[in-house]
Amino acid sequence: MIGKLKGVIDSYGDGWMIIDVGGVGYHVNCSARTLDALPAVGEAGEVFIETLVTQDAITLVGFTSANERDWFRLLKTVQGVGTKVALAIFSTISASELANAIAVGDKAMVTRAPGVGPKVAQRIITELKDKAPAFGQVEPGLAGLAAALDAPTPTAASDAVSALVNLGYGQTQAGAGVAAAMAKSGEDTKTEVLIRLALKELAGP
């Protein structure tokens, strides 16, 4: 199996690229984000490869990092997520954004990808929630916040996130703001204080 290709970028197309390795051109399917991150035609580049073998074809899928490839493999374990859907997700959001969205249950973030409906997004979040931290891309604060959001009864953190969402912030963005506020003020901070601190965090310097 091919794990990585390093050579000269030969050409690009819609959803694919060809990389010349020692005179052999390999056709590699990639997400739009991966294609944007690769060098220009004629320049040296490398891609991490997932080799997909079926009865009819051998397909190479390329990624800018081994971590993104690992996420691709994980996504494909979810029912309803094939190669096309997984690449659509990575064309829309990064691996770290996906990890954070899963951590805080931000279904809306996942459904931004073309072809990903609410049911598939919910399956991704539900089935991968316990696996996401193992990939090391979840922001530490969000990983801690996930436990508070999963609590059987409402918590100050979950109430603060809900309030920020009602103000128009996305679930992941709200979660990041509350996580940052909790890191500074402590986990026992009251809801109204968390909201105020989180708004300051989201407003920036």
Token digits of residue 179? 């996580």
Give the CATH number, domain containing residue 35.
2.40.50.140
How far is the CA of 58 from the CAs of 8, 50, 79, 140, 176, in angstroms?
21, 10, 22, 38, 41
Map tokens 């909790």 to a residue. 182
Token digits of residue 121? 């997004």
Which of the four pLDDT bands, split at 50, 70 and 90, describes residue 143? Answer: low
> How many domains is the chain built from?
3
- Domain match, 146 and 133 both: no
Could you tell me what percent of the chain has a pLDDT over 70?
A: 87
Token digits of residue 120? 């598939």
Domain of residue 48 covers 4-64
What is the reported pLDDT for 186? 74
Residue 51 amino acid letter = T
| Average confidence score pLDDT of the chain | 84
Nearest to 112 by CA among 16, 202, 32, 10: 32
